[in-house]
Amino acid sequence: MILGGSPVSPVPAMTIRERYLAGLPARDHEERERYDEYDAASFRAPAPEDAYPDFAVLLGPAGDRDAALERRDLPGMSRKDAARWAAANNMNDLGKLVIAWMAGEITQTPGHCGPPCAETIPLIPVLTAINRVGFVTESSQRAGARRGRTWNTWVCGWASAATATRLREAAAGTPLEMDACSRADRCGDCPREKCTSFWADACPDVAEDLRGAWWVYVEDPEPGRNDVLWPALARFADREWL
């Protein structure tokens, strides 16, 4: 998985999470963004559930809501990016924000503390196409090989029941393997719940849609191969777009 970004040095004396817990005031915008860059190593560090108060509880009357969203601090994310994600109203908006992130307009996603990895760059056209038609991608991996090790390609994210069905149709008759689960499934080590909680926290108006969506995982079981999954997803996106 490529969740959480890669460790970068130097590691600061205090992480954003520690600053948050210590009640220290947020830094100014520019300094905060620089700080975020080298906070990647501590992003998603384990913490007790009650370390974060429910953001909804902190919100005042409706009139204060937008201002509160502008001021909020998400661990590992700049305020500028947090405001963009918080403004999302529906799953379509999330797809557009993922596209904006891949285009470099947004630096972080709720689950990835940084811009797209180098391995993702060649996938941007097809990932853009599938995010445009209702498959909101959370993470992906391109197949590759290094130092005698070979790995496979996969993509995961959220989709409506109808979109998940058409993804399954697109995978039918290919060697691709697809899993889809919903909150009703309560699967144990599945990343759905964790990823959904990060995104729901960052996008409060889409939280219920995210929780109600299908978590879809499509992979090519054959290591080292990129020419089955991505063409199949491109065909899926083409059909959806028509």
The residues of the shown chain that bind Zn ion, judged by CB under 5 A, are 181, 187, 190, 192
> Half-sphere exposure (CA, 13 Å, Cβ side) for 76?
24
DSSP for 152-168 reads --EEEEEE-HHHHHHHH
Nearest distance, CB of residue 59 and Zn ion, angstroms: 30
Nearest to Zn ion of 12, 191 (CB atom): 191
Nearest to Zn ion of 84, 192 (CB atom): 192
Cα angle 30, 31, 37; round to 5 = 95
CB 176 within 8 A of CB 220: yes
Nearest distance, CB of residue 90 and Zn ion, angstroms: 23
Nearest to Zn ion of 142, 192 (CB atom): 192
Nearest distance, CB of residue 226 and Zn ion, angstroms: 25
> Which residue's Cβ lies closest to Zn ion?
190
136 phi/psi in degrees, rounded to 5: -85, 110
Nearest to Zn ion of 124, 181 (CB atom): 181
Nearest distance, CB of residue 190 and Zn ion, angstroms: 3
Reduce the secondary structure of 59-98 to three states and give it as a string.
CCCHHHHHHHHHHCCCCCCCHHHHHHHHCCCCHHHHHHHH
Nearest to Zn ion of 19, 192 (CB atom): 192
Nearest distance, CB of residue 193 and Zn ion, angstroms: 8
CB 236 within 8 A of CB 172: no
Task: Give how far Cα 212 sits from Cα of 41, 145, 197, 227, Å.
Answer: 31, 36, 12, 32
Nearest to Zn ion of 101, 215 (CB atom): 215
Pairwise CA distance, residues 140 & 49, whole Å:
27
Nearest distance, CB of residue 222 and Zn ion, angstroms: 23
Which amino acid type is present at position 34?
R
